[in-house]
Each structure stands twice: as C-alpha cells, then as structure tokens.
Structure 1
Amino acid sequence: MNLDLGPEPPFRKFAIGPYQIDLVSNYDELQAELSSLRRETWPLDFIDGPPDEPKIVTKEKAGKNSITATVRCKSEPEAILSNGREKGIWDLCLILSYLSGRNVFLLENERRYQHIVHGFDVVRSWQMPQAAEIAWSNRTNFRSEREMRPLWYFLHLNSSSDAEVKALLGCVALEIIQRVENERSHAALPDGFEKLIEKLKKEIEQSEVEDQDLRNRLKSAVGKWGSESAAQTFRNLLIHYELIESSVEGIPLRRVRCISEMRNRIAHDGDFAIPDWIDDAQRRKDAAIFIAARLIPAMVMEYLNRKFGLMQLNRVQRNSGIIKEYIYKGTHEGMQIDGI
C-alpha cells in the first residue's frame, strides 16, 4: 500500500532484488488520492526582483491509504533490517518507505499504519526503482541492530505529526550515529593508559568511601578519561562525512557546535540550544527551529544515504549540500536563516 511513483510514471513494473513490483491497473486514479505535502518553487531567472509568493507545485492534502501496487517473489530471503523474524518483504517496505518519505506497507499491516502522516521523499519518484535496487543491495552495510536504529527512528520521525517527538527522534538517532561512527574510527589510546585507568578504578573500589553508588560513579567518570568530548566527536563526524573542513572556524564553527549542543539538549533535557551568534531574537528562534527540524534530520539522512550507497544520486547529494550551506553561509537554498 501507498507506493507513490508520482503521476503517470514512465514504468508500470520493475524489480528490486528478487521482488517483482507491478503497479495496479488503476494506479493513476489511486495515486491522485494519496496524501501529499505542499511543495513550492521559486524561479531562478526573475528580472524585476523575487516574486511575492512562490509557485505552488503541489498542494497539501490528507488523502487516504490505497493499494497502488502488487509484489511477487519466487524465493523470498530473510529480512536484514529487522530484529525480528520478518521476511525480506519487510526490508523492501522499509527501503521504499525511506526513499518515498511515506509508509509503504502490506495490506495486513494497515492497522499499524492507519494514520496518514509522512515526510518528503529522498529521491524523485522516477528514480525510485534505481535507488531502491541500490539500497537493497547494500542492506548488509547495517551490521547490527544498533546501526539499524537510526533508520527505524527516522521512519517514525516521518510518521509523526508532533514536532517535539520528531525532534527527539532525530536527536536520538543522531546520537546513535555519532557513537557508531566514532567507535569505527576511534584512535587507540596511548600505551599504558588503559592499565592506569584500571588501576585507578581498583583504588577507588578499595578506598575508604563507604557509599557504593558514589564509588561506582567515580569509576564511571574515570573510565571516560581520555575520550573525546561529544562536541569534538560530532565535529569529527562532519569532517569524516566531508561536510566541513578540519580548519573550520569563526561563525561556521559556532554553528557546528550549536548543532551538536542542540542534539545533546533535546535528547537529554528536552530543551533547545540557543544560536548565540545571532542578535535578533526572532532570528535566533527561527535558526534554532531550523537546526532541530531540518539540519538534524538531514544529518540522519546523510548516515542512511551512505549506508544504503546512495551518495552518487543528485538529489541525495543535495541533502549534503543543505548541511554545508547552512554551516558555512547560514542560509537554506539561498534563503537567509541566521540573517547575518
């Protein structure tokens, strides 16, 4: 249900892995009844200044769930993107849900997805078969349940209409990503450091401090010595993803720190970080909302796009460009966010 390849797609059937997908005969009629988000566009060649209003490409509407395609498979594989016992069709639905921005599911799961809330697509509808085939072939890049969780949380983020829940899911997903990527690239500690830490822990345990809980907290604190700060880990993540240069400084560096602090505050305190380099109060509020609602989900998408091997696609690269543009210019697709 809910597979959306846009109006009048140039193909009516395609294959993803072992699955053959066929659009239903009345697809065009049903597609027009699916829910849609508002899309706007601004002309790039205006002469007399920008227009007062953007051109509306599509209007928002609630729509309804519909069976828009059928799927066949001769020999179905086991699911990889799941912690249960689902078959490969589960992975296929997750991939199509991620790429299309809407929940794609089997009729038997309709009750689970009876609400109609969704996000924007990752790739355009005409690229869906190509992108889905690439993503399917790269499912094994998710090597643990922990590495899969950002995908699950992102899909829940798209399905929620609650702004605070969306922000929380995005921040928790980003925190997991940060830890996963940091563990993979973490440099070894100096020789003898780990032995020193263990010695200190042993001395704390054998100390005269009677409160066991306090001793445990002290040992935990000592165990974190030598580790990079969360802010440095996030900066390293951006460098690893080639979203910033290692020499980043000034306002761009403050934006990087604010994104990291925003993730930390929302995930742990339910509060927003303040972009303190912006003087205007309304601009500060707008920038904070933009970071929480747009930049952090874009960071989660960056991780997922890399895992799925989609980085060669133009629209996916646009997501990377959105992150870079804000960090270095304080704008979003040419429009001012910070106002400086």
Structure 2
Amino acid sequence: MKRQLNHLTLAMSGNNKTDTHPSTFILIGIPGLEAAHIWISIPFCVVYLLALVGNCSLLFIIKTDPNLHEPMYLFLCMLSVADLIVCTTAMPKLLSLFWFHDGEIPFEACLIQVFLIHSCSTMESGFFLAMAFDRYVAICNPLRHSAILTHTVIGGMGLVIVLQGTALLVPHPFLLRWLSYCRTNIISHTYCEFMALIKIACAETRIRRAYSLIVAFLTGGVDFILIICSYVLILHTVFRLPSKDARLKTLGTCVSHVSVILVSYTPAFFSFLTHRFGHHVPPHVHIIVANIYLLVPPMLNPIIYGVRTKRIRDRFLRVFCFPKPLN
C-alpha cells in the first residue's frame, strides 16, 4: 500500500502540468474499497479460473467430437475464444494490482488493453446474433438448416464479425492517443477502459464520446434489436405448432442461448448507461459492474451450455470423469 501511495503522490505532483502523453498510467483499483482489495481479489480470481477451465474444456470437447461440429456449437467456440481474450486481457493486471499494489501500466499497453477488451466484447455481441440466426433457421426453416448454414457460411459469418469488431474499434486507441493527459495519469479503475481514459483527458472529448456511442449502437444495439426480431419470428412459429409438447421442446432448444444473452447484456447495458448517464452512481459501483461484465459471462456461458445441452454434458462426463479404460 505504501508503494501505491508513493506512486499516487508522484503522479499528483508531477503530472498536473507535465507531458500530454505520460509514459505510464496508474490504476488504483476500486476507489473507496482499497483496503478490501485483497478480499475482493479472491472471488475475482476464482471466477477467472472457472472461466479459463470452462471455456478451454468447451473448446476441447467441441473440437474433439465431430458430432458437435454443428452451427450452434461452432459459434459457441467463437464466443468462447472471445470470452477468453476479454477476461485474460484484464485479469492478470487486476490481480497484480490487488495482490502486489502494482498499478503501473505502460501507455501503449493501456491502449492495447482498451482495443482488445472493446473489440472482443463487440465480437461477442456479433456471435450472439449469429447464434440467434442459427436458432431462427433451425426452428422456422428446419428442412434447409444444413443447406443454409454450411461450414463455409459459418466461417464467413465468423470472419465478418471479427473484421467488423476490429475495424470499428481500431480508431479507439488512436482517438485516445491523440488526447492530452496533462491533469493526471491516475485511472480510477481496475483496467484501461475507454470512458475511464476519456474522463482524465484535459482536451475536448465530445467527438470521441459521440464516436464511441455510435459504435456501441451500431454493434451491441443493432445486434440486440435483431436478436429480439429473430425471437419474435421464432415465437410466432412455435405458437403455430399443433401440440404443447412440441412447443415446449422447441422452446427448450433456445433456453441456453437466451440465458447467455441475459447474463451478458444485462451488466453490459448497465455499465454502458451508467458510465454515460449515471452521474450520481458511486464510482465503485461503476467499476464493480464493469468487472462483472468482463468476468461473469465468460464463467457462466460454458456452464449454462454444459448443463443445458445433453450432448455437451455427456461428452464432458466421458472425457473428464469416466474416461474409457486402456486396452
């Protein structure tokens, strides 16, 4: 803690009127809860380890079982990779800050962190939409499902989502790099986040804020609207089925997807809206919700699909719990 206080003192005294581009930023974690950092790090670390184990296991199971090489599971693999990148980009530095009071992060590394977190989060939203499209085709046009969603189409959709997330978020680090940070280099956050850096800039940021808002709407906002539209069409088809059992069975194939959407979008929208409009929300609430958004969905997504999907659950039990005996 003494080391961190020294960093804060030097930053406050030296950077109020020094370089517009500091060589390092200083992350201070969760303001007001510094004394509890070590305790807060325990659930964060457990959740991160569960996310690593869960997503790596899911990738291994789907890769090694040809019967799972279907559109929904292939999109789920893409989502798992994006989840792993997002949480791994933020967590090692967060744990270093909480355990060793090492809040220093180089300027360039901070910009890379901003890009990876925001671009991969955008890709996650695109993969949710792709999974919703898969459910729409499977339920509303089942006879043509395999003809429409071929491996070539699936790969093309994944590539488009990755390129879109990269292209729209590449300007973010450059927009931040061209700003002046003459007041302070102290970031009141656990990781480098776009709005956290915008708040410590001493230049006009309205254009940058507007660009960030537009990108958020064109990606997460539009994706969410299209997901809702797909489920309206799905429900319209389901309620036309002749029997209650058929309706329940068909809706059951969507439960996992709807669950991961709710788990991911709820903290994402809350974090986005409070950062821009929730000026009376305490800073520690902002930061805790932002960390929940990065950590909890990557942990829960493989659990939800593992529990709800019999084929994944059975494969997991065969591989990890009851392996076949050697001959």
TM-score (norm 2): 0.32
Using CA pairs below 8 Å that are at least 6 residues apart, which structure has the higher relative contact order? 2
Say which one has the larger Rg: 1
